Structure 1
Amino acid sequence: MARDITTVGVVGLGTMGAGIAEVLARGGVRVIGVEIDDAAAERGLARMRHSTARAVERGKLTADDERALYERVSVGSDLGAVADADLVLEAVPEQLDLKQELFAQLDKVCRPDTILATNTSSLSVTELSVATGRSARVVGLHFFNPAPVMPLVEVVRTVVTEPEVLDDVVALAEKLGKEPVVAGDRAGFIANGLLFAYLNHAAAMFEEKYATRGDIDAAMRFGCGLPMGPLAVLDLVGIDTAYNILQQMYRQSRDRLHAPAPILKQMATAGLLGRKSGRGFYRYEEPGSSQVVPDADVTAPVPGTARRVETVGVVGSGTMATGIVEVFAKAGYTVTFVARSDAKVGAVTGGLTRSFDRQVQRGRLSEADRDAALGRVTGTTNLEDLATVDLVVEAVVEELSVKRALFENFDEICKPGAVLATTTSSLPVIECAMATGRPEDVVGMHFFNPAPVMKLVEVVRTVTTSDDVVATVHEVCRRTKKHAVDCGDRAGFIVNALLFPYLNDAVKMLQANYASADEIDTAIKTGAGFPMGPFELLDVVGLDVSLAIQQVLFAEFREPGWAPATLLEHLVTAGYLGRKTGRGFRDYAKK
């Protein structure tokens, strides 16, 4: 049975330490805060008072509870004050020698049964533990910032941590109302181990000028439903902090994907630290502000003159094609869609009608608007019926030979000046363009599923795409109320190139028995604020689809760290493809 930890020492009362002390005191634990001097200790206490006062103002804490909380808190500069604590947690700066020296001192000061814990986000807990004579009683207790708000706590074990110590610390985290996940002592633990490789990749993508800062962030927000884009997250975390975490991760893992993007070091050296300095990837109204000041990256106009588009052709009859037809019809375009058979034409029409009827029933669409939208849609089995459309969008199977043959037909059938678009999510757009005699008119227009709901469209220009065509697609996106982002023609574009290596890393983490799928999903949802954990998302997307995309990324970039995880390959071979087959990383047939 876990020991009831009633007294905790917190050494270091900066932003993180003060937040942890507040969490402990709110949870009924007696807290002994220690700082380098009395003035620093009082500043730490002031941080706590500022935080709890805001909680009282917002009705999340009563005035009586606030008073009782501070009866459990004492602060000072005497390290000996923690001598009788059940657990002492350090939250001093992320410097290995500083933390090791502190642990050596605590080892001498504290009772033999006292647990020593570190809030490090990147350093090796094992390296800290060996500074003591009680390595088996040293553990990582990694809170996330802001500690009073973020529910996740990573409990980090070393190879010698006693099981009862883990039990005691997990019980404490639960007592505080947190969601503990147990992880081994490796670079970044769970959340940072997955998150910072993704953030690093985004920084490198920006550094390469593959896409603008705003487009990278908008792509991940609108394409994946994330609360913040990766570059905005880096500004929030702090460029210097992110650089140091990646440095530590690389030092431990020797994984090239953890080596900080050069731009991070340059920005940190130049003092462009993000929100805290008033400028990072974005410029802010003042240091510490979250208000972004618009600049040329946000306000720059799209070059080129948009062509007139009133009629649209869509080729395909699957879920994506049907959704795209709906998007165009609702926006007022006259739409002709082409399917392979009369039965498929009927299926698309039936799907559209059901979708519009549901929207009418939910009050999102009037009957008159439904009838008008359906009246603008015509189905056919004949590609020749696309001869007069201003824009044609193909949404057929992801096979290059099929798409190339289709674009050859477009070249012969469509009128001069028509924009020819592909919705491919992974194939080279240039291959479709060069199947025509007018490659300047070909562009990628990557919708996300479900197309009527998802706001993002990736506008993919090849080396031959004209400015006018890009401008035309932007205007179409504006009219259809989609958010367009620009990117070049390379595997994965923005979203898949950032998303799938992160998902692949999660599979490798599971494959190595580092943590369970549930623990990894919990860490990412509660620690990083993602709407779904990686394994939930993989099962929804489909493991076969995910593997195919990862294979395309690996084939194009030849990045060893992007080689598809063996476990993912084996699950696909076994037919465990996710929700659509009833089993993937989880067994849905049992639910």
Structure 2
Amino acid sequence: MTASATETAAASTETPRTDVVGVVGLGTMGAGIAEVFARHGFSVIGVEVDDAAADRGQGHLDHSTSRAVARGKLSEDDAAALLGRVRISTDLSDLADATLVVEAVGESLDLKRSLFSRLDEIVSPDAVLATNTSSLSVTEISAATSHPGRVVGMHFFNPAPVQKFVEVVRTVVTEPRVLDEVTGLVEKLGKSPVVCGDRAGFIANTLLFGYLNHAASMFEGRYATREDIDAAMRFGCGYPMGPLALLDLIGLDTAYEILETMYRQGRDRLHAPTPLLKQMVSAGLLGRKTGRGFYTYEKPDSPVVVDDERTPSAADAPEVRRQVRTVGVVGTGTMASGIVEVFAKGGFDVLYVGRSADKVDAVAARVAKSLDKAVQRGKLEESARDEVLGRLTGTTSLDDLSSVDLVVEAIAEDLAVKTTLFENLDEICRDGAILATTTSSLPVIELARVTSRPGDVVGMHFFNPAPVMKLVEVVSTVATAEDVAETTRALCGAVGKVAVSCGDRAGFIVNALLFPYLNDAVKMLEGHYATADDIDTAMKLGCALPMGPFELLDVVGNDVSLAIQRELYLEFREPGFAPAPLLEHLVTAGYLGRKTGRGFRDHSR
């Protein structure tokens, strides 16, 4: 890489000259980075502190390439050629001819600054020095060199050979040609680069670790079990891993250091590590790498979870403590229709109530259409379709619910309207009938208190679309009878759903973890740190989420998101939960997302 005027002018169109790439630090991440470059034909010099560390680094490379061969991702000849392009050394001076050096040593500012100072004296003046730090200041690292303009962040994600995303981090003095060349190189490696400024956590970790910290705090406060917190985010949001399992994979010491760094720089309380993390790190419970963290593993570095003292036993499986044969559903919207279908497919006779005959007929039509699609796709027999439809009865009279065993309310998210309904249900329904609400944000206790039977009232929060989404949050108030909560959980299992238990507070599990993360993304956009497209790319490719935050916000509806965020802020009084002004402004302007044709993006085309 040279800094001549000709090359600088062509920087945006030419790939950088990277004849030899150096990688310093050959742990899991460093070895993965070395493998990525070698896979794409580059000669790589990997440097470690001593022979033992060098042998471990070679072992990481051998293991990774062997797995790729076993999975058919790499031929044996290609694997041999790849390994042949990597030379491992214990002498930094071997990097003298490298045109790019990527640092992947421990997450210590002093260590990295010392290394960059030494590299600055070894490599040529036009070589690029890149740090793989996930949270430390690239600017502070660059200041240890005599040429800080050639220093850039090049944050790969683990496992580097698999993950397609790289954050390219610029400082205020990073030379434009360096930024362009590194971005072009990342693309040449088959990765998707996103350029961002130098602040703790960059894009992905800033958003991810606030969410992970909140989940650890939720567990620490015994609001829900580790299994239920993780299941809620997997089945409610489609995340590949639950937050506590992900913390174990990352390493609790690594997570703690990243959060500490982010908190020191930004002073955002949401990034202040929850005390439990520090206690677990001090006790050596670091996650998979030590064999125990939030979960217990078969052995250190094993992904296999084994039972421990917190693991629910078979005897803990919920049972139906109150007999439920018939189910009533109040409401005729999309959610109500889905719940009707779920219970009817589960073998229950369902009586659904609408305000008019047309609305009642619309429910039957929605369910029939859904079942017909399942038949066409071979997921349901025609005879089964007819049986399901035969279990449905529609009515316009609430009084017809007098003999049902369970009533599920799925009407508008309006406390006054729901309260009036529960007053009526209290008068109509038989003694012992369970009264459930599908509210996603309102206090369940407010509905229970207007009845003469608060112990029979429970939250049963389905996710949309109910026939598809597996999760149901079973919400117990301080008054909910245990046999009601247990019966509700058992019924969820009987209709093919995954039930998680939680207390009656704003957001329950999923929304309490999801919406602060979405709000943080809006604040990041509002601060002009990155574009909506780049933030979405970071979270989809860097964290393997099914949708980026702005895609999701436009699907959910910015008005719905704002209402939930306001509920969270009012309940927890956490400054970081205050709705981002940009979200407020979009809602005021009527830019609600897909349903209005415009939200964070224009959907009218």
TM class, shorter-length: over 0.9
Amino acid at match of 1:282: Y
Q: In the aligned structure 2, how far is the partner of 1:89 from the partner of 1:361? A: 54
- Is 1:159 aligned to 2:168, yes or no? no
- Of 425-434 and 107-116, more deviation after overlay is shown by 107-116
- Is 1:281 aligned to 2:316, yes or no? no
Report the RMSD for the aligned CA atoms in angstroms: 1.2
- Is 1:394 aligned to 2:401, yes or no? no
Q: In the aligned structure 2, how far is the partner of 1:509 from the partner of 1:255? A: 13
The DSSP-based 3-state class of the residue aligned with 2:500 is: strand
Counterpart in the other structure of 1:439? 454
Counterpart of 2:383 (choices 368, 371, 379) is: 368
Counterpart in the other structure of 1:52? 65
C-alpha contact 1:14 1:44 (8 A) present in aligned 2: yes
Counterpart in the other structure of 2:341? 326
Counterpart in the other structure of 2:225? 212
Q: In the aligned structure 2, how far is the partner of 1:129 from the partner of 1:85? A: 18
C-alpha contact 2:459 2:473 (8 A) present in aligned 1: yes
- Of 9-18 and 257-266, more deviation after overlay is shown by 9-18
Counterpart of 1:267 (choices 249, 260, 280) is: 280
Deviations 1:50-104 (A, max 9, x none): 2112212222112222232233222211111111211111111111111101111
Counterpart in the other structure of 2:237? 224
- Is 1:455 aligned to 2:470, yes or no? yes
Q: Unaligned 5+ residue runs, structure 1?
A: none
Counterpart in the other structure of 1:345? 360
Q: How does 1:174-189 map to 2 (within 5 A)?
A: 174-189=187-202
Q: In the aligned structure 2, how far is the partner of 1:333 from the partner of 1:521? A: 41
Counterpart in the other structure of 1:514? 529
Counterpart in the other structure of 2:568? 553
After TM superposition, the score normalised by the length of structure 1 is 0.98
Counterpart in the other structure of 2:5? none
- Is 1:255 aligned to 2:268, yes or no? yes
Counterpart in the other structure of 1:104? 117
The DSSP-based 3-state class of the residue aligned with 2:328 is: strand
Deviations 1:518-565 (A, max 9, x none): 111111111111111111111111111111111110111111011111
Q: In the aligned structure 2, how far is the partner of 1:55 from the partner of 1:26? A: 12
Q: CA deviation at 1:302?
A: 5.8
Counterpart in the other structure of 1:70? 83
Amino acid at match of 2:81: A
Q: CA deviation at 1:4?
A: 2.8
Q: Note closer, same or farther for the CA distance 1:406–1:342 as it changes in structure 2 (3 Å cut).
A: same
Q: CA deviation at 1:303?
A: 7.3
Q: Note closer, same or farther for the CA distance 1:304–1:433 as it changes in structure 2 (3 Å cut).
A: farther
Q: CA deviation at 1:304?
A: 8.0
C-alpha contact 2:318 2:487 (8 A) present in aligned 1: no
C-alpha contact 2:404 2:430 (8 A) present in aligned 1: yes
The DSSP-based 3-state class of the residue aligned with 1:485 is: strand
C-alpha contact 2:287 2:295 (8 A) present in aligned 1: yes
C-alpha contact 1:445 1:458 (8 A) present in aligned 2: yes
Ranges of 4+ aligned residues in structure 1 off by more than 6 Å: none
**Aligned length, in residue pairs:** 590
Amino acid at match of 2:311: D
Amino acid at match of 2:424: N
Counterpart of 2:498 (choices 483, 493, 506) is: 483
- Of 493-502 and 69-78, more deviation after overlay is shown by 69-78
Q: How does 1:122-133 map to 2 (within 5 A)?
A: 122-133=135-146
C-alpha contact 1:302 1:471 (8 A) present in aligned 2: no
Counting aligned pairs with the same residue, the percent is 69
- Is 1:541 aligned to 2:556, yes or no? yes
C-alpha contact 1:304 1:467 (8 A) present in aligned 2: no
Amino acid at match of 1:190: I
- Is 1:585 aligned to 2:585, yes or no? no
Q: Unaligned 5+ residue runs, structure 2?
A: 1-9
Q: In the aligned structure 2, how far is the partner of 1:363 from the partner of 1:304? A: 32
The DSSP-based 3-state class of the residue aligned with 2:44 is: strand
C-alpha contact 1:116 1:138 (8 A) present in aligned 2: yes
Deviations 1:244-300 (A, max 9, x none): 111111111111100001000000111111111111111111111111113443326
Q: CA deviation at 1:155?
A: 0.4
Q: In the aligned structure 2, how far is the partner of 1:447 from the partner of 1:66? A: 48
Counterpart of 1:10 (choices 20, 23, 47) is: 23
C-alpha contact 1:212 1:297 (8 A) present in aligned 2: no
C-alpha contact 2:318 2:489 (8 A) present in aligned 1: no
Q: In the aligned structure 2, how far is the partner of 1:113 from the partner of 1:384? A: 82
Q: In the aligned structure 2, how far is the partner of 1:407 from the partner of 1:35? A: 68
Amino acid at match of 2:415: L
- Is 1:384 aligned to 2:399, yes or no? yes
Q: In the aligned structure 2, how far is the partner of 1:39 from the partner of 1:317? A: 67
Counterpart in the other structure of 1:28? 41
Deviations 1:416-435 (A, max 9, x none): 00000000000000000001
- Is 1:415 aligned to 2:430, yes or no? yes
Counterpart in the other structure of 2:104? 91
Q: CA deviation at 1:338?
A: 0.6
